[in-house]
Structure 1
Amino acid sequence: MKTILTNNKSNSVDQRKFYSIWTLVLLSLFFVIFISQISSPYTINSFAASTSSSINSPVYLAYFYEVGCHDCEKVKIILGDIFAKYPDNLIIESFDINLTDSMELAESLGELFQMPEEKRLLVPVIFIGDDYLFRDGITFENLEEAIQKYSNTETIAPWEKIKEKDLTAKDRLIARFQSFGLTAVAVSGLIDGINPCAFATIIFFISYLTLINRKGKEILWVGGMFALSVFLTYFLIGTGALKVITSLSFLPLVRKIFVLVTAALALILGIVSLYDYLQFKKKGNSKDAKLQLPSFLKNMIHSAIRKNVKLGNYILMAAVTGFIVSLLELACTGQIYLPTIMFISAIPDLKVNALFYLLFYNLMFILPLVLVFSFTYWGTTSAQWAALTQKNFGKIKMAMTLLFFGLAILLFYSGIYY
């Protein structure tokens, strides 16, 4: 009785700590949004002359922007000033970089103007004559200098220089998307899938299936439905989170702070994961790990598995169990999931195919789960899986540490420069 009371007390403390942390996070986000709403809009001094000037020949300017881009708002003001000074022959065309046609045009112009690949698709950027102005280079003075340069010569509009559809632009875009971005997302999903939190639940699930005498094809059916349910749940959660984060692009300050807060969170998780690794190397066991599910959530997961797998329609119950376990495990596996979603939403190259990347991430996430059920079908026991997890705990923690630090660097970079 004393042991039960002690465990209940410990679970109660863990539960209070868990809810306190999430309450603090939600209050912080509310504060950030509130501050952004009452803060004054960004303004700059107008450089426009009091009287308008004329130019002899039409000057064409292609401006690429993104809705919610803070720097783009500044450029919009500069363009208003420059147009006020040269209202007659200055033709400005604006292109939203998130539209497919605009993206391919930007890639084609970037290739034509010999723009470095790492700068293509980034905004704001302006193409004028045979030159381009990029981000900090877009000033009233630089624009006026370019206009004067081409004011006495006939020029072709940048969008007219690409007379026919550049069939190679899309291929170059796809190749670039599939380089670093796809690798980063794949590694994140795989490491999340072999997270000790996730594996502990899998091992318990297999142990319980064995205990209630589920064998052979039953394990495959149960495992397959469980994995499918986990995949769909995480994908839907990720889609919803991505939609919320993307909508923050209409509030540039909120989005920037949200990205930077997530970067700080990834950095903290990296430090804690490194601590877990060092403690494991020192003591040889993982019982003192900091990055793990609170006791009350572990008990809730185990309870859900026991209740649902006992029922007659075990395949349907495996799906229900997968859904419940996914929600409960999110406190642990979400440590990688949220920074990865932020990474996808913060990088223009990735945001275009965001759903594909989320789909790919979650396929990689359930890959270890599918393999575990497959090997269990072929005879591997839960005890062997537990021993394997314990043996490789240090390697997994080090991989998580490197991943967290990598995501933190990328998010800090994107939060500052995007």
Structure 2
Amino acid sequence: MKKVNLFIFGFLMALLVGTNVASAFEVSVYGRGIPSEEIYQGKSNFFVDLGMHSITSENWKTALDKLDKVVILPNQEDIKNIPAIEPLGVPVIVSDWKGADTDFPVLPSFFYHENEHTLEIFNWSSDFPDMSFIDTARKSIEKENPDQILMIVTEKNAQFIKDQLTPFQEKTEWIIRDEVSENFVQNIDIPEKPVIYFFFSSRCPICRHLKNDVTPPVFEKYQDQIKVIYLDYVISAHYEKLVLLEETWQVEHKTSVEIFSDAGYVASEDEKTINEQIEELIQKTLALSNEEKKKTQTLFTGKIEDLIFNRFKGFTPWVVAGAGVLDGLNPCAFATIIFMVNLLMAIGHTRRRIFEIGIAYSLSVFFTYLLMGLGIFHIWQTLSAYQIISRVIYGVMASVLIIFAILSIKDAIQYRKDKKETEFSMGLPKSFRIKINQYLKKSFSEKKLIVAAIFSGFVISLLEAGCTGQIYLPTIMYIARESTSLRAFFFLLLYNTFFIIPLLVVFLGVYYGSQSKALVNFGRKNILFSKLAMGSLFIVLSILLWQSALS
């Protein structure tokens, strides 16, 4: 017996998103008899079949075939008819039935999506459901946070389930199966809130700061009146929607963060004014009547791909290269390579090894961004485990830089006290540095250190990117992913080449600067100033890394 393709059906339902042009959408629930033809011509968006029809499976199949969007919530007697209905591909939900084998299409709950709102449906067929199923339902509701819940229960299990799911009572509609009459039909209105689309890039620190730290208060103020949808336009489908909305509203000055509703848009990166602009947009949106609402479906009748390709044709190599250089001004990447060079110099590594490790790190950044541009590593950025690892790495580096700062300041204090000229050692005694170097040489071969540099470049590149290029880069990435355009791939290479230029300048500046006789002589003649300046630099870099670790 083949399984009903529940996941494909659910995915297709998830695509049925549009604009909030009404205050509610309607779901029709029926049972104990196939409803009359009138139900098919009604305004219902979706149908829930409770079964218990007392008809043959063939007649049931014929009735279901007339409905485009329907889910079956059978009782335990109906389950024997499911194999005959299975070829229709209609999802079947039994939230508390384990089944004798895995062939039966049992699913804990079903999600129906309409106009960016979600209805989660549960079907409790057993009078005494296992507590593990209740826990599964609770976790699902907490995770997905549906706008409305439909619970189909029995007379005996109703109170028990209500008691266990008390926190969700306010948005739950209950239907007791035993009380369902012959030819039962009930229409349920699912309330809709005006939708606010918040477009951002997960690769952009400014975007993440605005999304996570700056704008939440204004959205929380109106959380009972609006629904905020966050869309990362690094994902091609989200970028298509962003371009569509930009075309609809004729957005001229594009930014890395853009917010849309039926009343207009906000395009801003200014954390001082963005909340004021968002609140004004929300108030305009709430004041709209149904007739005044501007549909987010654009009047553009062609393909969205054509819009994106036309945008891409307007790019020039100089614009792309400039965006790459500006985005390459990444403090966290700079802090990391300065940290690595100074650590290796402090413990006495050779110039050749330091150069190789710095180049390996820079090339790792280049190729990671290139592969990300082709969409290869995007999923990694959404993994919680990856986020934790990134935060730990930043936290460790920030802590070590603080230690460096303390040791540099200690060096300065010691020099002021003794007036004795010393080599720059960050306070580490020569014997201690020799021991550390011996340990590293014993534990880490040159290849292992290079691998560590490559890994560091990879992890930091996944977490950090600039924001200037988010106006251009998503278009280039989209074309490179969705077509075989050599021009798009060339632009991607060009962007990433210029992206690492600032990083290489910083690395080579630190590397050659440390060997410059003029700088060395200046440092020796101004030891107190040099050590205090170095300590201050380490403190600033540590703060930057801590900000990234905590944001």
TM-score by length of 1: 0.46
Higher strand residue share: 2
Return the structure number with greater helix share: 1
Greater RCO structure (CA 8 Å; 6+ sep): 1
| TM-score (norm. length: structure 2) | 0.38
